[in-house]
A and B are shown apart, each in its own frame.
Chain A
């Protein structure tokens, strides 16, 4: 056990699985770094730094730099997964899914069903998402609801370094195609993370806080925000449960419903655009399955239905903040 950043936790998961299983490869733009350049041997591990150190240990045959051709290399990762490798492909920003989405949702996500169950596609697509870096409209989106919509894909959103390592090892060992979403603001967060490999199962929510008055369901960076709110309001006598579902597909609906049954109040915090996102999905679930348990209308905390703005003043207004979560919790608690 030692203190590791979110970035280091994922890096360690990749390295440990590559040591364990020779069919695990990683690929992406600059994943080794410097291919064909004068400083080729001084691999920098990509813009995210998550793959740093892998090329020196595993070589360029298993740590592949790619041209900027997401359709080709994400598709190649799909084809490699269907024929015997376990590729972990980095789609640098999830916003770039627009240029390779066919390979993810029409190919990887459908092989198993279309081919009558005979295909196995153990693919991981790692990708950075989320607002907060002044990166503007094409480098800041969440987009996980779009992947969640596709049968055949699994969708993972770690909320801390510990979660990231265990979920990444699970993703690599999983036999289905997995979209693994890394919030860019979390990369430097640190916490105690076991040195040895471990897995966290998909579809099992984590209760980061347990309380009796309000259930907060949150994803990714919204989990630490919600924890912060729960800790503050606890001192005022408003006791919150915070549910981190960890995966949006599969979704641990049982735990969400049990928590709502206990508290009778629900706030869903989702950094994704507000139409057809996880907040609407979970609100519909609870309205349908647990309406009788509700003591107050459900509240959703989301950004507005706009692209992510650039100007710091605007982006700060856009992002769901602890203050907005707190206001929603107070509203449902009638406090």
Chain B
């Protein structure tokens, strides 16, 4: 469209021109146009469980539609955690806690094993999000004054506490768990429920739809004042504070929004499983979530989904060599970090609300996407990891 209009004033000479023009063309499109162009891809993604492509399929070994739901669930989790880690730069090692709370709320309000009153599953989802948000505030308000690694430890402790409470408090049924957790309404032709634990397809479609909505919302947030504040906090908290950004408030917001998405994915997880107990809310799971974000590229929404895909898919794909899967996973993590420390896709952020329009009017070309951010840029260990002024 506008690629050939005027030469860019500050064109980086090293960039190959052809690649440049494609990315520029892409950046020049409005998000609406971008989504239209992506439509075939989105359709393909939706159709994956039906296509069940050879090589990609996890069968025989693991039902492919359920595997794809697992992958989608991890993507959703990664997007939520990316708000906290990638955008606001808060290292959260206890994200599984929010995930667990969401799952437990869904179970408590829909499973016949619970003594609470019952509500429909679809009503339990917003409730799960609301309750995890409350927990986000409860955890965030005392701890977000801590910095960096201390925050990581406290969140790690929080995640463990959620798990241990689930273990110890009798109403949460520990290892006995909740059976027959609710699901969205709907029946098949043969009278079986549409949403059930033996078929991942409806759940997958639901989850991907939720992901698209969340992606649009998160994208809007990212290029709003809130998003800019997060990036400022991430890159230099003291400077942000000095410039008048109420850092604490925005950190809480990041935490709460991340928590809500975690709760949402937890509720979806509980619904799909139909049965849930305390067995998968440990630190290792939390670490896997974080690995998804960082592997894909903290701060890059597409990247973290890619990372989530790797983290969720690889173990299911290689079930047949189950003994080796964690080994493969560990080696992959280590090698990837050595050769692409910023993750598979580095952070790229558009920060201005009407950035595209503004850039076109001012310089006649697409928006410059900032790709040097906290991950790729500043605080490496080499040049003074502890050098951040206190």
A complexed with B: no
Which B residues are closer than 8 A to A by beta carbons?
none
Which A residues are closer than 8 A to B by beta carbons?
none
